[in-house]
């Protein structure tokens, strides 16, 4: 009986690590799509540097998951050889980059979210998780320093830039609710002091986002329509296309290395 | 434009975090290996050793087996893998055949871990060293009238600045 409990615990932890890795790798891939398409060189470099930070996180989560699974699979197997339904990222990470306003508004939403989430996760009883979160938290604080001024600039800039921010907001509001929905197996990990209850940071996230957007005379309202399903592997139509690109090389030339 | 003379050169001060690292190194029995590892530099910052950058954490020996612990500056830093390889190769060449490079996550790296010599090397490379209050001084003319061009420079650990006095663009090593 004792072994059975430990087995579920281990399974839950692995699942959790892969989900966090999926959030990061998918988001990183989206940001990397800006490479050579940024509005100007410095911003191009900034977008891809943020992407690099997220790749780093994904690698740390996947490496840890691979170590726990201990079945000979590596971080690369997890990233490149799973299908759409096996990915469990929260949906907001997989939405297409759209225009620069959309990319930066999502970045801002994610930055506020990760500053709160990683802060909480750094208190995890799991030492490795806590260490990864502590390291990543510093990066997210820095990302926020870049996304905030961009939102202000775009929202208070020209009519066109403001319209684009408002359009981005109308779309993103359908996906922010999922950030705070918990699966049963995640709740079990929260009870063990390993994971973080995301529903508990929702109020603070909304408070910060509303107050910040209000400075640019934008009202933040959580819409009734909330799309969800990412943590169960139910995705938007966009993820499959992303994976077909991201996994192309390993699917076409299995085992290919640098 | 007022230029400072060489005699007014900035003096780098050791932080408490660096002092802790230094005393750990000095108390180690394996001084020869620590000194050997001073030959390893960050490939993206040639001229600054992994010790000075603060990412060399520990040297441990168990029987004939050596374990070198290092950490990455940022979680996505691509240089860390090649630094690991450099260490393994150097150790092998100098006869420490059984060497493992271990990547540690905690404590998280911070610019406070950089040695005073490392800060001096940054200045020599015309990279402005990290400053807690983000007072970024031009590494070329020492002018303080500088502005941020981009929050990210040539690598994740640097931001891009421009001096308003001498108009030179330069990297600033982010305070992190």
The pLDDT assigned to B176 comes to 87
Question: Same domain for B23 and B103?
Answer: yes
A181/A175 Cα distance (integer angstroms): 11
Q: Which of A132, A136, A138 sits opposite B176 (nearest CB)?
A: A138
| Domain limits for position B141 | 126-173
Domain residue ranges of chain A, discontinuous segments joined by +: 2-252
- Both B21 and B103 in one domain: the answer is yes
Last residue of a domain, one of B89, B113, B137: B113
> What digits encode the pLDDT tens for the residues B101-146?
999 998 899 999 999 999 999 999 999 999 988 889 999 999 999 9
Contacts of A52 in chain B (CB under 8 A): 74, 76-78, 156
Give the contacts of B13 (CB within 8 A, at least 6 positions apart): B116
Lowest average pLDDT, out of A60-74, A95-109, A170-184, B152-166, goes to: B152-166
For residues B32 and B92, membership in a common domain is answered with: yes
Measured between beta carbons, the chain A residues lying within 8 angstroms of B149 are: 42
Alpha carbon of B11: minimum distance to chain A alpha carbons (Å): 27
Residues B60 and B90 in one domain: yes
User: What tokens appear for A178 in the block?
Assistant: 């999922």
Q: How many domains, chain B?
A: 2
Tokens of A157: 């800039």
In this prediction, residue B153 has a pLDDT band, given cuts at 50, 70 and 90, of confident
Whether residue B79 is contained in a domain is answered as yes
State the smallest CA–CA distance between residue A93 and chain B in angstroms.
Answer: 18
For an interface test with B, the pick among A27, A34, A42 (most B C-beta atoms closer than 10 Å) comes out as A42
Structure-token pair, residue A121: 């996760």
pLDDT digits (tens, 9 = 90+) for A189-235: 999 999 999 999 999 999 999 999 999 999 998 777 899 999 999 99
Positive or negative: CA dihedral B17, B21, B26, B27: positive
Backbone φ and ψ for A46, nearest 5 degrees, come out as -65, -45
- Asked if the C-beta of A43 comes within 8 angstroms of chain B's C-beta atoms, the answer is yes
Is CATH 1.10.3720.10 what the domain over A2-252 is classified as, yes or no? no
The reply to whether A56 touches chain B by the CB within 8 Å rule is: yes
Cβ contact, residue pair B75, A56, below 8 Å: yes
Residue B9 forms part of a structural domain: no
| Nearest-CA distance B79 → chain A (Å) | 12
Whether B10 is in a domain gets the answer: no
Which among B76, B153, B174 is the nearest to A56, CB-wise? B76
Contact A140, A111 (CB under 8 A): yes
- The verdict on B83 and B38 lying in the same domain is yes
pLDDT in tens, B60-114: 999 999 999 999 998 888 889 999 999 999 999 999 999 999 999 988 999 999 9
Q: What secondary structure letter does DSSP report for A218?
A: -
Based on the domain organization, do B35 and B100 belong to the same domain?
yes
**What pLDDT was estimated at residue B84?**
96
Whether residues B148 and B76 fall in one domain: no
Q: Would you call A135 and B176 a contact, using CB atoms and an 8 Å cutoff?
A: no
- The model's pLDDT over A119-158, given as tens digits with 9 standing for 90+, comes to 999 999 999 999 999 999 999 999 999 999 999 999 999 9
CB nearest to B77's CB, from A56, A128, A145: A56
Give the minimum alpha-carbon distance from B7 to chain A in angstroms, rounded to a whole number.
Answer: 35
**Phi then psi for A215, rounded to 5 degrees?**
-60, -25
Q: How distant is the Cα of B176 from the closest Cα of chain A, in angstroms?
A: 7
pLDDT at A2 over 60: no
Facing A42 at nearest CB: one of B106, B155, B160: B160
CATH number at residue B51: 3.30.300.130
d(CA A220, CA A1): 49
Confidence of residue B1 (pLDDT cuts 50, 70, 90): very low
Compute the distance between CA of residue A224 and CA of residue A81 in angstroms, rounded to an integer. 36
Q: Which own/partner contact pairs does B33-40 have at CB distance under 8 Å and 24+ positions apart?
A: B33/B59, B33/B61, B33/B66, B33/B68, B33/B91, B33/B96, B34/B59, B36/B90, B36/B91, B36/B94, B37/B68, B37/B87, B37/B90, B39/B90, B40/B83, B40/B86, B40/B87, B40/B90
* Residues B99 and B130 grouped into a single domain: no
What chain B residue is nearest to A47 in terms of C-alpha separation? B152
Q: Are residues B84 and B147 in the same domain?
A: no
The dihedral of CA B77, B75, A62, A27: what is its sign?
negative
A120 in reach of chain B (CB within 8 A)? no
Name every residue in B having a CB less than 8 A away from some CB of A.
72, 74-78, 105-110, 149-156, 160, 174, 176
**Cβ separation A139–B78 shorter than 8 A:** no
pLDDT tens sequence across A28-55: 999 999 999 999 988 999 999 999 999 9
Asked whether residue B118 is domain-assigned, the answer is: no
Residues B26 and B79 occupy one common structural domain? yes
Same domain, B80 and B106: yes
Please indicate whether, in this complex, the C-beta atoms of A52 and B174 are within 8 angstroms of each other: no
Question: What is the DSSP secondary structure assignment for residue A224, as one 8-state letter?
Answer: S
Between chain A and chain B, how many beta carbons pairs sit less than 8 Å apart? 64
The beta-carbon neighbor of B151 closest among A53, A54, A145 is A145
Sort out which chain B residues have CB atoms less than 8 A from A49's CB and list them: 152, 155-156
Check whether residue B81 and residue B146 sit in a common domain. no
Task: Collect all residues with Cβ–Cβ distance below 8 Å to A158 and sequence separation of at least 6.
Answer: none
Q: Examine residue B5 and state whether it is found in any structural domain, yes or no.
A: no
Q: What is the mean pLDDT of residues B20-41?
A: 96
| Closest by Cα among B52, B176, B66 to B114 | B52
Residue among A22, A63, A11, A42 at smallest CA distance from A194: A11
């Amino acid at each position: 009986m004792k072994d059975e409990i430990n087995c579920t615990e281990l399974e839950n932890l692995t699942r959790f690590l892969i989900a966090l890795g999926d959030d990061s790798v998918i988001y990183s891939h989206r940001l990397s799509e800006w490479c050579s398409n940024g509005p100007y060189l410095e911003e191009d470099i900034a977008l891809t540097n943020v992407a690099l930070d997220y790749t780093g996180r994904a690698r740390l989560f996947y490496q840890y998951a691979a170590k726990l699974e201990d079945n000979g699979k590596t971080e690369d197997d997890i990233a490149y050889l799973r299908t759409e339904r096996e990915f469990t990222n929260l949906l907001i990470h997989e939405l297409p980059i759209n225009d620069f306003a959309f990319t930066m508004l999502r970045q801002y939403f994610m930055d506020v979210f990760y500053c709160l989430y990683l802060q909480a996760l750094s208190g995890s009883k799991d030492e490795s998780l806590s260490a990864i979160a502590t390291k990543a938290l510093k990066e997210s604080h820095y990302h926020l320093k870049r996304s905030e001024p961009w939102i202000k600039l775009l929202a208070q800039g020209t009519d066109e830039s403001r319209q684009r921010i408002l359009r981005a907001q109308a779309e993103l509001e359908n996906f922010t609710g999922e950030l705070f929905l918990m699966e049963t197996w995640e709740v079990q990990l929260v009870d063990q002091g390993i994971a973080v209850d995301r529903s508990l940071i929702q109020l603070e996230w909304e408070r910060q986002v509303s107050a910040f957007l209000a400075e640019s005379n934008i009202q933040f309202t959580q819409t009734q329509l909330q799309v969800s399903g990412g943590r169960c592997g139910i995705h938007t139509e966009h993820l499959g296309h992303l994976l077909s690109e991201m996994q192309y090389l390993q699917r076409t030339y299995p085992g290919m290395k640098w | 434009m007022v230029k400072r003379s060489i005699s007014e050169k900035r003096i780098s001060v050791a932080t408490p975090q660096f002092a802790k690292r230094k005393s750990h190194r000095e108390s180690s029995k394996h001084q020869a290996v620590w000194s050997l590892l001073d030959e390893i530099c960050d490939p993206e910052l040639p001229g600054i050793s992994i010790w000075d950058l603060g990412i060399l954490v520990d040297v441990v020996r168990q029987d004939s087996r050596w374990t070198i612990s290092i950490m990455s500056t940022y979680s996505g830093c691509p240089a860390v893998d090649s630094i690991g390889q450099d260490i393994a190769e150097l150790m092998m060449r100098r006869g420490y055949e059984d060497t493992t490079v271990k990547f540690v996550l905690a404590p998280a790296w911070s610019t406070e871990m950089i040695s005073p010599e490392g800060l001096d090397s940054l200045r020599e490379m015309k990279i402005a060293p990290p400053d807690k209050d983000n007072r970024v001084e031009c590494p070329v003319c020492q002018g303080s009238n500088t502005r941020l061009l981009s929050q990210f420079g040539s690598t994740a650990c640097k931001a891009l600045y421009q001096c308003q006095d001498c108009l030179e663009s330069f990297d600033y090593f982010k305070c992190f």
